[in-house]
Amino acid sequence: MTMNISNALLGLGLLVALPLAAQEENYVSEVWCPDQGNGTYKNPVLYADYSDPDACRVGDDFYLTASSFNCLPGLPILHSKDLVNWTIISHAIPYALAPVQSPERPEHGNRIWAPAIRHHDGEFYIFWGDPDRGAFMVKAKDPKGPWTEPVLVKPAKGIIDTCPFWDEDGKVYMVHAYAGSRAEFKSVISICELNAEATRAITPSRIIFDGHEAHETCEGPKMYKRGDYYYIFHPAGGVPTGWQVVLRSKNIYGPYEWRTVMAQGSSPVNGPHQGAWVNTPTGEDWFLHFQDVGAYGRLVHLQPMKWIDGWPVIGTDKDGDGCGEPVLTYRKPDVGQTYPICNPQERDEFDGYTLSPQWQWHANINEKWAYYAGDQSIVRLYSYPVVKDYKNLWDVANLLLQKTPAPNFTATMKLTFKPDKRYTGERSGLVVMGMDYAGVILENTETGLELSQVECLKADMGMPEQKNASMALADNTVYLRVKFSTDGSKIAESDGGHDLVVTCDFSYSLDGKRFKKIGDSFQAKEGRWIGAKVGMFCTRPAIKINDGGWADVDWFRITK
């Protein structure tokens, strides 16, 4: 269960981070800004890996959450006033998920899948499926927290993509799908009834739609009611190539009729599906969904939506057949007034006693990993021992990473490495992490400090790292940089043909002004169900000692 103990979180710099997020409301990115400042926006509205997004409106405010899998803090909460400009305000899982099979090793791709966020009777609820344990729920009166500890609503292996629904007669339901990898069964939508508190399933799940024939791999259901009809919005056809389906019935248990209401069509937006129907205070309807582009993850798009003859049409329906396709630019939603431009946080000057909320570790947070020294304007990463059967950074939990925020950008950090002189093998540096990874890394060796550009292909398969370039380093303070770039080209059709080709080039500087390229160009690759992430780490060998060194990071900046 999640540890929401105030003192513990204060010590980790997590609980107090929430109010600071509000100070970033007007942060404007220089690398991707969907609000074009003229009453229109461009997609994606979130050029970052907010996989499986769901959203709800409460009054004039919109709130969005997304899958966080093994990354902590988990269940990010984003806030918007107009569905275009978003900022991170909190996380519903701030510290840990339990039980943990191996607390020092990431559970790549597990834990929090496809959440749904709802507001009912003065409280926010988030439901999600853990594919190995079942359906979970947390709730809060304020989306900034504190959130309750997770409640296991329905224990079961393979249940995913859970969404609660409160009916007009007071009954509470949960609609969900199944993960074929765990349940050995998929392509159906099911529903069960919950108790009045929405904390426990009180009936078995009942299949209400079979998509095997027309909508294979149907998943991600979201339930609503409009007029006399129950509606279930769900994607089908698989993540990179699928489409959006809507079911409707006057009986919650069906039978349900269906329509395909959005597909790629002639647009460049592959797999436009799985998301949230929301309406504005002025009565407009909109739909948020994702698009999987590979290394940059699952990007969030905003589509206009209208109701025609009792069915939603999402995007623009050029041929009038009831199935829309995604828009790339459109007028902004009418929310009654104009709000300032803002974007999710990207940079961190490390001048407070918390991290900026875009950062995530790769596993449950260990209080021995870092010191947030606001009085010194640094974050100090302590070297932490790798696991005994360590093969490469895929096995490391104390990676401090953030999502990639744009198609073309540069990440730069200032680092001072202070390894323990009693032994060798401590490392720190800048890393681009995925199933393949690369980085520019400092290591204390027998001959002194060494700066290397490293690469590891098939890291998830346990393959070893290799050095593409290395040099002796006399100064322990260095500026590290990685440049991400793409021209929009896709990988070969033989490999799927939907992922962007993303190139990373590494460089370093001793004065922060003159940067020199080091090593080879690297083609970034996604992680397990997540996009590639960029950030830092500090490790030491798996040897039994009583202390180690550290790395002080002055700042981390995202620029054009």
pLDDT one-digit tens code per residue, 206-235: 999 999 999 999 999 999 999 999 999 999
Taking only the tens place, the pLDDT of each residue in 318-355 is: 999 999 999 999 999 999 999 999 999 999 999 999 99
Residue 8 DSSP class:
H
Mean pLDDT of the chain: 94
CATH class for the domain made up of 25-100+107-331: mainly beta
Taking only the tens place, the pLDDT of each residue in 125-145 is: 999 999 999 999 999 999 999
pLDDT at site 176: 98
Chain-centroid distance, C-alpha 46: 11
**Which run of H or of E encompasses 180?**
helix 180-183
pLDDT > 70 fraction of the chain, expressed in percent and rounded: 95
Confidence of residue 8 (pLDDT cuts 50, 70, 90): very low
CATH of 360-559, one of 3.40.50.20, 3.40.50.150, 1.10.10.10, 2.60.120.200: 2.60.120.200
Q: Poorest-confidence range of 407-416, 510-519, 541-550?
A: 541-550
Taking only the tens place, the pLDDT of each residue in 144-161 is: 999 999 999 999 999 999
Per-domain residue ranges for the chain?
25-100+107-331, 360-559
CB 74 within 8 A of CB 92: yes
Instruction: For residue 39, give Cα distances in angstroms to 42, 96, 331, 338, 518.
Output: 11, 41, 6, 9, 43
Question: What is the set of active-site residues?
Answer: 52, 219
The answer to whether residue 6 scores a pLDDT higher than 60 is no
Work out the burial of residue 513: count CB atoms within 10 Å of its CB; fewer than 13 is exposed, 13-18 middle, 19 or more buried.
exposed
The answer to whether residue 492 scores a pLDDT higher than 90 is no
pLDDT at site 320: 96
Residue 517 DSSP class:
E
pLDDT at site 493: 75
For the chain, the first-to-last Cα distance in angstroms comes to: 41
Residue 554 to residue 560: CA distance in whole angstroms: 20
